[in-house]
């Protein structure tokens, strides 16, 4: 590949978006900057596209988005007689522009487009796919990444992200599309006039919220608790739907962080708009000094994930982990549904297999079937779709991932911070009527089931050499299985790439009934665990640690030893 020739071609032909030409002209003669933009094309996978906004094949721009859309159009026209698609977008820079350009390409290929008329959460896109029974869906978002990123996520007709097979076939179509001569497009207004592009009305969002509110378990508790909430949408899509659903269930004291209320893809007060990190709560915590709320809520820009901070009993606020919120929500839903006789004999809850095992112990108490699935909410979406096909949709209690993603109900096939925000507030209100804070509730769960300390260590390996290093680490672990971690013997090794589970004491093996994935899990004595997994979207290997003790101090000591041994593996 001649990088300079590719750069010159783009400089000459990339004329649709003036920002592209201006950026290319600004890096003239700077080979390193040119190389970074053109050394590869953004790859299309099950997470679609994601990259820095800018000029070049390795950036999110008009041409990379429209090329992907042309490839998707070819895929849809191959598999559907009269394909249709739903499109949504968030507050990120150029998300609205990319959504309209994508709609024009799809329309030019004869595909009917349902387009949200304003930014909406990712779960609303999943809902719209099922509402209109479309063949596919697109959401323009980069979730919680910094402002310089954008992304393009594709969904199938079931409302969850494309499967590996669907994404691989679509990518083959994309690779055959020339950036400048292979993209079909048409005038937007003409496509609307011809009925090829149709704006979705408010009734779609109303229908979504109607489904969300059905997940309430104790609506009366909300109305009497006097719950006080500070909410920040982090300049994203959650502002309207989250506030509307909280109003519907009777949470009347919701204070929104003014600096983070309105959509703004620059995220001026939260450069990392990620509810997993405390910095995202900085402005909410400042407000808390005066308002003294029971609860702080933060949803990420596309409102599929939510984080919370709760009173810690010492006058301050504690940021709860995704594992803690998932376990607490599951315990709340199971206990209340059981008490009200709403729990079916075949109820089922689910989580990603890297999330806390505490959830499984809680489910067992209520005779609820529990499943562990691969990381990626599409696998939870697949399970819900299977249950629905079997006439068992009502058996689904909830699913979650440790990365702050939760879903109750079957209205969407992706994580949903709207329904999660509603249930978290309902749960807080219910326990408030009993004189308990959520921090106290979590402590009581630990007292009953043991202290599960979950943490994640990320190891970054930059560049081409980094990818080789990551592959070498995983190969080395497969060739030479660690005998112990933190002086605790490994009792079971699960290799999700070979689908083999091995009991180390006698070498007996079982088949893992999950799709293949490049993941290794080591179970130790007393349920302690290390899971090693390369990231699918970043040059990182992650080590997921589970340490179990009778109390926090004991579990923390075990976790520290496990982390020290994990560090040694990554050298």
Kindly report, residue by residue over 264-284, the tens digit of the pLDDT.
Answer: 999 999 999 999 999 999 999
Q: What's the pLDDT score for residue 330? A: 98
Segment (H or E) for 310 = strand 306-311
Local confidence band at 523 (pLDDT 50, 70, 90 cut-offs): very high
Question: Please, which residues bridge with residue 503 across strands?
Answer: 492
Cα atoms found within 13 Å of the Cα of residue 465, Cβ hemisphere only: 0
Q: What's the pLDDT score for residue 241? A: 98
Transcribe 450-503 into DSSP letters.
-EEEEEEEEEE--HHHHHHHHHHHHHHHHHS--SEETTEEEEEEEETTTTEEEE
- In the chain, the percentage of residues whose pLDDT exceeds 90 is 92
Whether the pLDDT of residue 538 is over 80: the answer is no
Whether the pLDDT of residue 168 is over 90: the answer is yes
Whether the pLDDT of residue 236 is over 80: the answer is yes
Cα atoms found within 13 Å of the Cα of residue 73, Cβ hemisphere only: 24
Say if residues 495 and 520 touch (Cβ distance below 8 Å). Answer: yes
Instruction: Find the angle CA(493)-CA(494)-CA(498) to the nearest 5 degrees.
Output: 120
Whether the pLDDT of residue 357 is over 80: the answer is yes
Local confidence band at 313 (pLDDT 50, 70, 90 cut-offs): confident
Local confidence band at 131 (pLDDT 50, 70, 90 cut-offs): very high
Mean pLDDT of the chain: 95
Interatomic CA distance for residues 489 and 498, integer angstroms? 22
**CA neighbor of 304 nearest in space, from 370, 380, 374:** 380
Considering only residues 571 and 428, tell me which one the structure prediction assigns the higher pLDDT: 428
Q: What's the pLDDT score for residue 126? A: 98
Whether the pLDDT of residue 1 is over 80: the answer is no
Q: What's CA 295's distance to the chain center, in Å?
A: 22
Q: What's the pLDDT score for residue 464? A: 67
Interatomic CA distance for residues 564 and 562, integer angstroms? 5
Transcribe 430-457 into DSSP letters.
HHHHTT--HHHHHHHHHHHH-EEEEEEE
Q: Dump pLDDT digits (tens) for 369-399.
A: 999 999 899 999 999 999 999 999 999 999 9
Q: What is the mean pLDDT of residues 123-142?
A: 98
Say if residues 540 and 514 touch (Cβ distance below 8 Å). Answer: no
Instruction: Find the angle CA(166)-CA(167)-CA(173) to the nearest 5 degrees.
Output: 95
Q: Dump pLDDT digits (tens) for 504-522.
A: 988 889 999 998 999 999 9
Whether the pLDDT of residue 333 is over 70: the answer is yes
Q: What's the pLDDT score for residue 27? A: 97
Q: What is the mean pLDDT of residues 246-251?
A: 96
Q: What is the mean pLDDT of residues 98-126?
A: 98
553 φ/ψ angles, rounded to the nearest 5 degrees: -60, -45
Interatomic CA distance for residues 431 and 425, integer angstroms? 10
Q: What's the pLDDT score for residue 536? A: 66
Q: Dump pLDDT digits (tens) for 63-90.
A: 999 999 999 999 999 999 999 999 999 9
Secondary structure in 3-state letters for 320-382:
CCHHHHHHHHHHHHHHHHHHCCCCCCCCEEEEECCCCCHHHHHHHHCCCEEEEECCCHHHHHH
Q: What's the pLDDT score for residue 537? A: 63
Residues with a known catalytic role: 143
Question: Please, which residues bridge with residue 522 across strands?
Answer: 493, 530
Transcribe 218-239 into DSSP letters.
-HHHHHHH--EEEEE-TTSS-H
């Amino acid at each position: 590949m001649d990088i300079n020739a590719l750069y010159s071609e783009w400089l000459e032909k990339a004329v649709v978006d003036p920002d592209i030409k201006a950026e290319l002209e600004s890096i003239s003669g700077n080979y390193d900057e040119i190389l970074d933009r053109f050394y590869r094309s953004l790859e299309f996978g099950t997470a679609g596209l994601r990259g820095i906004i800018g000029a070049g094949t390795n950036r999110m721009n008009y041409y990379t988005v429209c090329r992907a859309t042309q490839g998707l159009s070819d895929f849809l026209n191959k598999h559907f007689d009269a394909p249709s698609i739903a499109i949504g977008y968030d507050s990120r820079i150029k998300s609205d522009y990319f959504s309209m350009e994508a709609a024009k390409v799809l329309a030019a290929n004869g595909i009917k487009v349902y387009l949200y008329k304003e930014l909406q959460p990712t779960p609303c896109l999943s809902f719209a796919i099922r509402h209109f029974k479309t063949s596919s869906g697109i959401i323009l978002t980069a979730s919680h990444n910094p402002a310089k990123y954008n992304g393009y996520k594709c969904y199938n007709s079931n409302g969850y992200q494309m499967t590996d097979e669907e994404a691989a076939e679509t990518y083959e179509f994309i690779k055959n599309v020339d950036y400048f001569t292979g993209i079909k497009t048409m005038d937007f207004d003409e496509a609307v006039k011809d009925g090829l592009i149709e704006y979705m009305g408010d009734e779609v969002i109303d229908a979504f919220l109607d489904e969300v509110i059905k997940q309430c378990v104790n609506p009366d508790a909300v109305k009497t608790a006097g719950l006080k909430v500070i909410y920040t949408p982090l300049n994203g899509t959650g502002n309207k739907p989250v506030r509307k659903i909280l109003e519907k269930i009777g949470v009347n004291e919701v204070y929104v962080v003014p600096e983070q209320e309105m959509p703004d893809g620059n995220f001026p007060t939260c450069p990392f708009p990620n509810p997993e990190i405390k910095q995202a709560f900085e402005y909410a915590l400042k407000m808390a000094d005066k308002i003294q709320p029971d609860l702080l809520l933060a949803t990420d820009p596309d409102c599929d994930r939510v984080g919370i901070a709760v009173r810690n009993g010492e006058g301050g606020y504690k940021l709860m982990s995704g594992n803690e919120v998932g376990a607490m929500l599951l315990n709340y839903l199971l206990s209340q549904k059981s008490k009200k006789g709403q729990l079916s004999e075949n109820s089922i809850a689910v989580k990603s297999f890297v999330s806390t095992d505490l959830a499984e112990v809680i489910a067992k108490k209520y005779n609820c079937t529990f499943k562990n699935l691969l990381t990626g909410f599409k696998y939870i979406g697949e399970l819900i779709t299977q249950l629905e096909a079997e006439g068992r949709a009502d058996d689904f209690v909830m699913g979650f991932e440790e990365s702050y993603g939760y879903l109750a109900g079957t209205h969407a096939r992706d994580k949903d911070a709207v329904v999660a925000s509603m249930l978290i507030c309902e749960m807080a209100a219910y326990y408030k009527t009993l004189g308990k804070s959520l921090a106290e509730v979590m402590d009581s769960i630990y007292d009953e089931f043991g202290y599960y300390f979950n943490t994640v260590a990320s190891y970054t390996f930059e560049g081409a050499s980094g990818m080789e290093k990551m592959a070498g680490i995983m190969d080395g672990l497969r060739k030479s299985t660690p005998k112990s971690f933190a002086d605790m013997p490994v009792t079971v090794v699960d290799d999700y790439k070979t689908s083999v589970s091995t009991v180390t004491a006698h070498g007996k093996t079982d088949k893992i009934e999950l799709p293949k994935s490049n993941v290794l899990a080591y179970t130790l004595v007393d349920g302690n665990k290390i899971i090693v997994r390369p990231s699918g979207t970043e040059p990182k290997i992650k080590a997921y640690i589970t340490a179990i003790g009778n109390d926090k101090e004991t579990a923390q000591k075990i976790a520290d030893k496990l982390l020290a041994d994990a560090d040694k593996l990554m050298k």
